[in-house]
Amino acid sequence: MFTISEITGKIKNILEEEFDGIELTGEISNYKHHSSGHKYFVLKDNNAQIGAVMWKGVRLNFIPKDGMKVIVKGSIDVYPPQGKYQVNCKTMVPAGEGDLYLAFEALKKKLTEKSYFEIEHKKKLPNFPLKVGISTSPTGAAIQDMIKTIGRRNSLITIYFRPTLVQGEGSAEDITKAIAELNKIDCNVIIIGRGGGSIEDLWSYNTEIVADAIYNSKIPIISAVGHESDFTIADFVADYRASTPTAAAELVSSITVEEINTFLGQSADRSTRSIKRLIDIQKEYLGTNLEKKFQKLIINELNNYKQSLDHNENYINNYFGSYISLLKEKSKSLYLQLKANDPLSPLNKGYALLMSENKFIDKNTSLTKFDEIKIIRKNEEILVNIKENL
């Protein structure tokens, strides 16, 4: 009976002895240049694939990338911790560009000639979007990262999520449908994308039908496909390219709730100061010519409006536009009320006020009740004696 380590060791010895000094031709896929300096990738042909590694120190006269066909020389190694075999590449030279890379370059050239990438066709992103459409996989980490990022930075944004196939058969068509559906919702901006992957995984975003859908969208589109080092046709056609889905979420929520609150607070302060200045001007104008009784009534009314202003300030954070409009309407209404309640207004038309013993005589009191009355006109006051009622 063998242990796992023993059987793996025997397989390792057999493979490394049997497949030493081999030469392979294949297409690079899922290439990663690790920070350690080692290079990890997959070599594949039409029917199979094999993992490959090139250790730090092996010199190359070109930069490998997904889709390139290469010729490698090396040996087969077994990596016991994972129980997998791989090609240990000692040398690597280009053997021509792979089919996917050639297709990518051909479509890129075609769309360049159709001016799909020109800056004049790019739509401007909104400064403060409140409705954001997202097209991505419902099962990947990308959607969760975007929802969390937007929710943390600006909870006022409504997200319209359209679950989408992002790779495999039918995915390019589904991405196209998602863009069309989000256009019907009339979002402010649309994010399309997914997490990273090989050139095959990202290939749906390198298709002409997806490029056409992005170009013809009435709503600005942010492409957020893969990692920062990944580039697709969708990135070139889109109105804006984000390095990752999370970066796209940060872009649409660039104005945070804290910044909005600061702006609203400053707007509220300016509006309040303007209204109070107007009230003070009206008080000063009216206060010099009114009897104390009427002054008190008007001051009370002004205090009520001040209290109303303080109450309305509590709503400024969510309804600043409506609040500012309300303040303007209240100011106009206050001015009209003060003007209507001005007791001197009738005097300007030639009417007079009648007083006796420092009290105003109303319309229901007979003048014969008084011996002497004061007649107050705009520019004069006179005392008269009542002799008889004609």
Tokens of 344: 């001197």
pLDDT for residue 285 = 65
The torsion of the CA quartet 312, 314, 317, 318, rounded to 10 degrees, works out to: -70
Tell me how far CA of residue 2 lies from CA of 5, 7, 77, 368, in angstroms: 8, 6, 21, 131
What is the helix (H) or strand (E) element at residue 338, kind and residue range? Answer: helix 320-340
CATH topology classification for 121-252: Rossmann fold (3.40.50)
Domain spanning 4-97 has what CATH number? 2.40.50.140
CA–CA separation, 168 vs 176, rounded Å? 14
Is residue 137 within 8 Å of residue 194, measured between CB atoms?
yes
**Are domains 4-97 and 121-252 of this chain identical in fold?**
no
Kindly report the backbone phi and psi dihedral angles of residue 256, in degrees, each rounded to the nearest multiple of 5, phi listed first.
-85, 170
pLDDT for residue 344 = 65
What is the DSSP secondary structure assignment for residue 227, as one 8-state letter? Answer: S
pLDDT for residue 362 = 79
Return the domain boundaries, the chain: 4-97, 121-252, 257-343, 346-385
Block mean pLDDT (10 aa), the chain, length 390: 81 83 90 91 91 89 84 89 89 75 87 93 90 94 92 88 94 96 93 87 93 96 86 94 92 74 68 77 63 66 71 61 68 72 70 80 75 82 74
Strands, DSSP E only, in the chain? Answer: 20-33, 39-44, 49-54, 68-79, 84-97, 131-136, 158-163, 189-194, 221-225, 240-241, 353-356, 359-360, 372-376, 381-385
Helix axes 208-216, 99-113, angle to 10 degrees: 30
